[in-house]
Amino acid sequence: MEQSVTDNTAKSRFEIHDDGELAGFAEYHRSGNEIAFIHTGIDPRFEGRGLGSRLARTALDAAREHQLAVLPYCPFIRDWMIKHPEYTDLIPITHRTRFSL
């Protein structure tokens, strides 16, 4: 199965596709040098296949590449970052306590 993640800037969300079918997304709001993740969803038909993790990793890697500060309001993204502390540096130090990181 071919999976791909793209940044759909028109809809302000990263999307993950599985064999060309939209399987999930991570919505964001971008302002200046910050990106706030607000909601992530995976279609129930695609759950349990690691797509959410791939989506989170790709979105956060893109934030790092563009030198954006991350504000993980979305519980999924925040929990994923807790499990992957190598991404904590993306959150401004002044906001880490707010997000339990």
The whole-angstrom separation of Cα 58 and Cα 72 is 14
pLDDT digits (tens, 9 = 90+) for 6-59: 999 999 999 999 999 999 999 999 999 999 999 999 999 999 999 999 999 999
pLDDT digits (tens, 9 = 90+) for 44-95: 999 999 999 999 999 999 999 999 999 999 999 999 999 999 999 999 999 9
Whichever domain contains 93, its CATH number is 3.40.630.30
At 27 the three-state DSSP class reads strand
The whole-angstrom separation of Cα 88 and Cα 77 is 11
Question: 13: domain range?
Answer: 3-99
Among 70, 17, 68, 64, CA closest to 45: 17
At 34 the three-state DSSP class reads strand
Structural domain tally of the chain?
1
